[in-house]
């Protein structure tokens, strides 16, 4: 049982437990910038995914193609007032898109139920603000997913890739040592957060790293689908994930295997 090794599993939200492919924040960011007359690509929107939305917007403003587009539109670089305007617009857009994209990913509920049955605590964290998360939390609860703890953007002094959201969850749930905590996330920033906290990190390839809806993924020819998933897995491995899985649906068996293999390596598997 995983309870032999861990006490707390902390899941990300969009792209990990809800919103297959992490589509909602991408659409919201594209619309927020388009309303200011500036086009951004989905690829640009995904670069800092998982970070607090304010940090995400700041990063986008400094991304060379976005900065150039803003300069071309306004004849000057974006300033603090522009960032606030985007953030103000983003709040409503994020709530709307997140609410529509809050269906649990296939297998997420079953994984949650099994972990709970094994006696593990379930935490969750997100780059969304509490306001953005409200409709998602309501919709997730209707589908039977109610984690023990939720940390939102702005509720710690710094967001990802700092480890503070994980530390907050552990402190408030009374869980220690950090070696008995697992962070499950589909974005590089979330893996970096887990590494900074010193917890076991699991990357989910079918989320932001893949960047496709379930329908779009299934529509691909099998060979291209395999290539895209392989690229997403590599991205998360490069970010430092201890384990990379395709979906939370397979988390439990894959985490059990990886953990036992890791403990065997650490003890030298000699029985000494």
Considering the candidates 12, 48, 55, 242, report the single residue annotated as catalytic. Answer: 12
Alpha carbons 8 and 2: distance in angstroms, whole number? 10
Considering the candidates 27, 51, 53, 183, report the single residue annotated as catalytic. Answer: 53
Which residues are registered as beta bridge partners of 10? 123, 183
Are β-strands 200-204 and 243-245 bridged in parallel, bridged antiparallel, or unpaired? Answer: parallel
H helices of the chain, in order, are 24-34, 42-46, 53-62, 64-74, 80-100, 108-117, 130-142, 164-173, 188-197, 214-219, 222-238, 251-267
Contacts of 271 (CB under 8 A, 6+ apart): none
To the query of whether residue 4 is one of the catalytic residues in this protein, the response is no
Alpha carbons 43 and 20: distance in angstroms, whole number? 16
To the query of whether residue 53 is one of the catalytic residues in this protein, the response is yes
Place of tokens 């984690």: 147
Q: Point out the residues that are catalytic.
A: 12, 53
């Amino acid at each position: 049982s995983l309870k032999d090794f861990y006490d707390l599993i902390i899941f990300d939200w969009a792209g990990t437990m809800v919103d297959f492919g992490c589509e909602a924040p991408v659409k919201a960011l594209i619309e927020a910038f388009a309303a200011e007359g500036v086009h951004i690509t989905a690829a640009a929107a995904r670069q800092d995914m998982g970070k607090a939305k304010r940090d995400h917007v700041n990063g986008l403003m400094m991304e060379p193609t976005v900065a150039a587009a803003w300069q071309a539109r306004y004849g000057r670089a974006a300033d603090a007032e522009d960032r606030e305007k985007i953030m103000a617009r983003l709040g409503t857009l994020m709530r709307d898109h997140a609410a529509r994209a809050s269906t649990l990913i296939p297998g997420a509920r079953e994984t949650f139920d099994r972990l709970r049955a094994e006696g593990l605590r379930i935490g969750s964290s997100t780059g969304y603000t509490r306001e953005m998360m409200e409709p998602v939390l309501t919709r997730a609860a209707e589908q039977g997913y109610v984690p023990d703890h939720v940390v939102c953007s702005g509720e710690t002094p710094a967001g990802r890739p700092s480890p503070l959201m994980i530390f907050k969850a552990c402190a408030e749930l009374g869980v220690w040592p950090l070696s008995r905590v697992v962070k499950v996330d589909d974005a590089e920033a979330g893996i970096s957060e887990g590494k900074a906290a010193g917890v076991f990190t699991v990357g989910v390839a079918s989320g932001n790293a893949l960047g496709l809806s379930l329908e779009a993924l299934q529509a691909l020819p099998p060979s291209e689908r395999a290539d895209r998933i392989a690229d997403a897995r590599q991205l998360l491995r490069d970010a430092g994930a201890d384990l990379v899985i395709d979906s939370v649906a397979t988390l439990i068996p894959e985490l059990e295997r990886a953990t036992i293999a890791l403990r065997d390596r650490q003890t030298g598997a000699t029985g000494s």
